[in-house]
Amino acid sequence: MKQTKTFIPTMREVPSDADIKSHQLLLRAGYIRQNTSGIYSFLPLGKKVLQKIETVIREEMEAIDAVEVFMPALQQAELWQETGRWYSYGPELFRMKDRHNREFALGATHEEVITSLVRDEVKSYKKLPLTMFQIQTKFRDEQRPRFGLLRGREFIMKDAYSFHASEESLDVTYQDMMQAYTNIFTRLGLNFRAVIADGGSIGGTGTHEFMALSDIGEDTIAYSDNSSYAANLEMAEVNMDYDKSDERLKEMEKVSTPEVRAISDLVTFLGVEANRCIKTLVFKADDAFVVVLGRGDHDINDIKLKNVLGAEVVELADEVEVKKLLSCEVGSLGPIKLPLELKVIADKAIASIVNGVCGANEEGFHLMNVNPERDFAVDRYEDLRFTLEGDTSPDGNGTIKFAKGIEVGHIFKLGTTYSAKMDATYLDENGRAKPFIMGCYGIGVSRILAAVAEQFNDESGLKWPKKLAPYQVHLVAVNVKDEIQKELADELHKLLKSYRYEVLYDDRPERAGVKFADSDLIGLPMRITVGKKATEGIVEVKFRQTGETVDWQREEITEKLQAFFGAE
Amino acid sequence: MKQTKTFIPTMREVPSDADIKSHQLLLRAGYIRQNTSGIYSFLPLGKKVLQKIETVIREEMEAIDAVEVFMPALQQAELWQETGRWYSYGPELFRMKDRHNREFALGATHEEVITSLVRDEVKSYKKLPLTMFQIQTKFRDEQRPRFGLLRGREFIMKDAYSFHASEESLDVTYQDMMQAYTNIFTRLGLNFRAVIADGGSIGGTGTHEFMALSDIGEDTIAYSDNSSYAANLEMAEVNMDYDKSDERLKEMEKVSTPEVRAISDLVTFLGVEANRCIKTLVFKADDAFVVVLGRGDHDINDIKLKNVLGAEVVELADEVEVKKLLSCEVGSLGPIKLPLELKVIADKAIASIVNGVCGANEEGFHLMNVNPERDFAVDRYEDLRFTLEGDTSPDGNGTIKFAKGIEVGHIFKLGTTYSAKMDATYLDENGRAKPFIMGCYGIGVSRILAAVAEQFNDESGLKWPKKLAPYQVHLVAVNVKDEIQKELADELHKLLKSYRYEVLYDDRPERAGVKFADSDLIGLPMRITVGKKATEGIVEVKFRQTGETVDWQREEITEKLQAFFGAE
């Protein structure tokens, strides 16, 4: 493609409204333009990258027998009313009316539409399992669109849905998807992790997120430095053997601790280590109070607590409630001599505390040399805390480290959440109607474009992985008015095209400096520059990833190109 | 693709709400499903055909240096307000509000968006011409969605827009598009005509429609049986030499014609031929009255009259106005002795009438032996009538025939209609700001799917052209429980895939009759049936287009396949 024929509006200045690298560079290099808040046009370079992403996704979906469909963006409100999401989805769901005043949702996701389709057409277990996918524009009216393509209001997704007659069949497809996603992100060259995730509002029983690692990510991932274990911080298990000191159990002692309220006060005031302190919290779990104990250097994870208690809602009791319950301030709570009817649940780390410190349930006093079992009872020991960097990985291999990630894919076991509400059933072997067991599987196609740009760049511009670059080679004629240069460049353009390389040919009558700066900004894997040495049949080749430059003879170009691009 | 893995819900019954063949068959063969009025899901087979259409379009667009982009569906109202279309487009434009109460149009077309983009980014004539296209879902809230995909509310279009610094440059791109469109529809196997069209509400100076010929088409095309001339009926020129009889001019005679009002009454009552009668009409052209004469067997074309008069609005005067003007009923009008200030404009055919018949401007009377020039004056003779079948083609080659057509493509010269309103300008060689000269070019992608289905079918189902079929070969194992059949079918499936044929493999445990009926309905170009002769290594091959069936030896399959598919 000749650069004079295409549309690559580059910018020298960093756009003032773009605050992350990928957004700045995709704008500056002419890949995208903003239409209005959270809504973008993909310009020719951006569209080319999208197509490459889509091709890889399509191939991997087809490899696991997912079939492609294309469902509408305009979705009648009635469908969303069946699942109740018309009411629960909130203002993120764009809504509108047609000329006859009928209400529509603008497709934010397609569970309702596809469940309705399958409900109408699939009647027997013999037609299951069935997996369908589509690549399509989605609409979500984000409260605060930001980070360019990372959180927009109109974006491109691959969404897939599977239908099953058994949990085992869902498990098989879920594992197929896990592998397909791993293949996709690997082929795209993304630095990513598959992490155990929280089902969130979409519901379901098992779920993994695929995270592109990046400092600007909005999620924290806990991963092992020596295994494939990775989980969203909220979901990361702690499965550790805590060392228990063999020191002699001392006599419990009450000490005055004026002004001590937080663990950090205690550490300073008494000179004890935080890991000897017992943090005592009162939670309200679906209206019942429960006392929760954690070590002073640990934080309690609400989600784990909620799951352990099997509660719908879990929240900290407020000061008034605590005072009423235990006649004591929140800052002086401890597990000793609590009312018998109050359940006590402790993080596993508590069991290993010897001669610990806790509140005395009396304003201004703490107790020292407190020991579990001897001095207070615990109803259950559970994994209740957030993991920390340095913890042993729960699979026993390696230690935990933290990273930030951008969610680029998400797979869910939905179970019968949607099919039951929509009365979408098939007949089993015995002729009994049963709700479809479902899975759903998303990939943020346009988000990948940004995530890759975020991972592959330097101060001069983008640095595309070979498989994702809009073109493979940037052929630059330094001076198109120089006949010899022009002729060689034209010849190479033809040659490379005949070898099926994707070539962007800078045939513009611009200064060399402008061309090189644009070329670095656009970031194709290889630049072939036809300059003064054209007279000797020599071109300069620059590899964008390494910055390395070499001279190639005209005759050796095709062979060397193959060595470079064929290698992958 | 194994049929047990994909989703092809066929139906035996003709759906009651589908009244044309393509709609019925696309539903029955499991290519599409309706979600709600005018809104469809494309199932796996339908999606495959769409992708083939898109690939051909993409290749032909790229061949003329059109570059692909992807613009948003959510378009801020402000853009449409700039061109005034926010107010003039009417209820066909879906409108909505976001959570901040800002108004949006749901993309019905993208002139505003792309003009705004180019306005912001292209400042100099040096960057022109520039042609961009996209393939995308469009939304139009049709008053009466009908005919399945032919007139829906959400559909897929290819739209392209070109920007130029001169009319000559626009002409070049317009001709390129004309050729590209011709290539596209030819490659897709469509029976089509490029016809001269009316610009309609989108404005502009030159325009062609590409019509798929079909009896259910909503437009009438007048075309030559011996040249490439074709035009939408409204636009078809008449350029004929009319024979003028050399009979003697007779004396004008007033005759009583009670109850005669229409030409047909006159023909019956006086026994004259309609082509001797002079039809006299009074039109109001932008508030001025004008008398229009046409031959009794011809119909006046308002659009031609409007263009000839250079009027904004042209309509027939009503009876009250006529009576006030000429003191006479509409049914008795004639051109004799009209008030001098009234302009008389006649269709060219009138000049050749000898001894004609017309109204006497007196209720119940007509005049016979009326001759133009001798008995009445005509200010202008013009081409004012609709063409008729049998007319000489305006290019002099062949005679006119009529056909019905489905509009599948439309190319327009927009000129500066949009750029002027949106103040979208570039700087010319002399540094002067000038509005971009634009063209726009649409193809109804999902409509093609229906148009092809409408052209290629028989009573058993669809009959896809080779290039558009969702798969090339339908491999049918008659009895999957027969080991020899199953083995040979499995082997052929692998073999054909290894030769890169697209194969749909019916591996379902269904009766042979069901499989054959489904196969005819789905309509792939070739069916390879593995049945009882599998024991002899023989398969039956049926060509869907001709219905011909032959036996092939297993060994000769690949060679014969190549002969069939390679031939195109």
**pLDDT for residue B568:** 42
Q: Which of A48, A44, A43, A20 lies closest to A32, judged by CA?
A: A43
pLDDT band of A203, cuts 50, 70, 90 = very low
Q: Bin B296: left if φ > 0, else alpha if -120 < ψ < 50, else beta.
A: alpha
Write down how long chain A is.
568
Task: Give me B11's structure tokens.
Answer: 């139906």
| Angle formed at CA B378 by CA B377 and CA B383, multiple of 5 degrees | 160
Alpha-carbon span A4 to B125, nearest angstrom: 12
Q: Is A106 within 8 Å of B96 when comparing Cβ atoms?
A: yes
Q: Which of A35, A48, A74 sits opposite B39 (nearest CB)?
A: A74
Minimum distance, in Å, between the CA of residue B429 and any CA atom of chain A: 15
Q: Using an 8 Å Cβ cutoff, are B212 and B20 in contact?
A: no
Give me the phi and psi of B16, to 5 degrees please.
Answer: -70, -25
> Bridge-partner residues for A85, per DSSP?
none
Task: Count how many residues are written for chain B.
Answer: 568
pLDDT above 60: residue A204: no
Residue of A121, A163, A151 lying closest to B41 (CA atoms): A121
Statement: residue A386 has pLDDT above 50: yes
pLDDT at B198: 73
Phi, psi of A338 (to 5 degrees): -80, 155
Residues in chain A within 8 Å Cβ distance of B41 = 69-72, 113, 117
Longest dimension (CA), chain A: 96
pLDDT value of position B200: 54
- Chain A residues with CB under 8 Å of B7 CB are 67, 69, 121-122, 130, 132
In this structure, the number of other CB atoms found within 10 A of the CB of residue B264 comes to: 12
Nearest to A409 by CA among A232, A234, A212, A235: A212
Query: Which residue among B42, B70, B143 sits closest to A70, beta carbon to beta carbon?
Result: B42
Tokens 């109109």 correspond to A154
What would the 3-class secondary structure string for A283-348 be?
EEECCEEEEEEEECCCCECHHHHHHHHCCCCEEECCHHHHHHHHCCCHHHCCCCCCCCCCEEEEEH
Contact B530, B554 (CB under 8 A): no
Domain ranges of chain A: 21-237+402-453, 253-382, 471-566
Tokens of B208: 């062609």
Distance CA B99, CA A385 (A): 38
Q: What is the pLDDT of residues A124-179, one digit of tens each?
A: 999 999 999 999 999 999 999 999 999 999 999 999 999 999 999 999 999 999 99
Do B336 and B361 touch, CB atoms closer than 8 A?
yes
Phi and psi dihedrals of A173, rounded to 5? -65, -40
DSSP helix/strand/coil, A161: strand
Tokens of residue A257, six digits: 């601790």
**Chain B residue nearest residue A115, CA to CA:** B35
Cβ-defined contact of B137 to A5 (cutoff 8 Å): no
Q: State the pLDDT confidence band at A201, using cuts at 50, 70 and 90.
A: very low
A525 cis-preceded (ω within 30 degrees of 0):
no
Buried b (16+ CB within 10 A) or exposed e, B308-344: bbebeebeebeeeebeebbebbbbbbbbbebeeeeeb
Q: CA B187 → CA B213, B484, B502, B564, distances in Å?
A: 16, 40, 18, 17
CA distance A26 to A452: 11
**Would you call A38 helix, strand, or coil by DSSP?**
coil
C-alpha A304/C-alpha A236 separation (Å) is: 9
pLDDT of residue A141: 96
Of A35, A99, A113, the CB nearest to B91: A99
Q: Give the chain B residue whose CA is nearest to the CA of A8.
A: B121
Tell me which amino acid residue B134 is: Q
Mean pLDDT of A337-355: 94
What is chain A's percent helix, strand, coil content, to nearest 5?
30, 30, 35
CA angle in degrees (0–180, nearest 5) for B275-B278-B281: 135
- The half-sphere exposure of B225 on its side-chain side, counting CA atoms within 13 A, is 9
| Mean pLDDT (whole number) for A94-100 | 96
Q: Which of A42, A122, A141 is the closest to B69 by Cβ?
A: A42
Which chain A residue's Cα is nearest to B510?
Answer: A126
| pLDDT tier, A312 (very low <50, low <70, confident <90, very high otherwise) | confident
CB A191 within 8 A of CB A455: yes
Can you tell me whether residue A314 is helix, strand or coil? strand
Which structure tokens are listed for A176? Answer: 């197929």
The answer to whether B219 and B405 are in contact (CB under 8 A) is yes
What's the CA gap between B47 and A89, in Å, rounded? Answer: 29
The predicted complex's ipTM stands at: 0.90
Which has the closest alpha carbon to B453: B18, B12, B2?
B18
In angstroms, the CA B358 to CA A382 distance is 105
- CA neighbor of A132 nearest in space, from A74, A64, A86: A64
Dmax over CA atoms of chain B, in Å, equals 95
Interior angle at CA A527, CA A525 and CA A529, nearest 5: 175
Both ends of chain A: CA-CA distance in Å?
Answer: 23
Contact A278, A293 (CB under 8 A): yes
DSSP string for residues in B389-430: TTSBPTTSSSBEEEEEEEEEEEEEEEETHHHHHTT-EEE-TT
Phi, psi of A26, deg, nearest 5 = -65, -35
**Does A33 contact B96 at a Cβ distance shorter than 8 Å?**
no
Burial state string for B544-558 with b = 16 or more CB within 10 A and e = fewer than 16: beeeeeeebebeebe
Q: What is the pLDDT of residue A437?
A: 97
| Tokens 């990939």 found at | A443
CB atoms within 10 A of CB B197: 23
Q: Which fold has domain A253-382?
A: YbaK protein (3.90.960)
Judging contacts by C-beta atoms under 8 Å, the chain A residues touching residue B50 are 70
Decide if B21-237+402-453 and B471-566 have a common fold.
no
Q: Which CATH number fits domain B471-566: 3.20.20.70, 3.40.50.800, 1.10.3720.10, 3.30.479.30?
A: 3.40.50.800
Q: How far apart are the C-alpha atoms of A284 and A302, rounded to whole Å? A: 11
Structure tokens at A529: 């520059």
**What is chain B's percent helix, strand, coil content, to nearest 5?**
30, 30, 35
Judging contacts by C-beta atoms under 8 Å, the chain A residues touching residue B39 are 72, 74
Nearest alpha-carbon partner for B412 in B258, B197, B565: B197
**Ranges under pLDDT 50 in chain B:** 201-203, 568
The C-alpha R_g of chain B, in whole angstroms, comes to: 30
Instruction: Report residue B214: phi and psi, to 5°.
Output: -170, 140
Closest-CA residue to A78 (of A92, A95, A66):
A95
Q: Is B8 helix (H, G, I), strand (E, B) or coil?
A: coil
User: A139 vs B74: CB contact, 8 Å cut-off?
Assistant: yes
Residue A220: strand pairing partners: A404
State residue A200's pLDDT score: 55
List the beta strands (DSSP E) in A465-548. Answer: 473-477, 503-506, 526-530, 538-543
* Nearest-angstrom CA–CA distance, B520 and B518: 6
What CA–CA distance (Å, rounded) separates A304 from A290? 14
- Chain B positions touching A73 (Cβ under 8 A) are 73, 137, 139, 154
Partner residue facing A94 (CB), from B42, B96, B121: B96
Number of other residues whose CB lies within 10 A of the CB of residue A305: 24
Facing residues of A104 across strands? A76, A96
Q: How high is the pLDDT of residue B328?
A: 87
d(CA B27, CA B11): 8
Beta bridge pairs of residue B160: B133, B441
Residue B369 zone, left/alpha/beta (φ > 0; ψ -120 to 50; rest): left
Superfamily of the domain at A21-237+402-453: Bira Bifunctional Protein; Domain 2 (3.30.930.10)
pLDDT tens-digit map of B76-101: 999 999 999 999 999 999 999 999 99
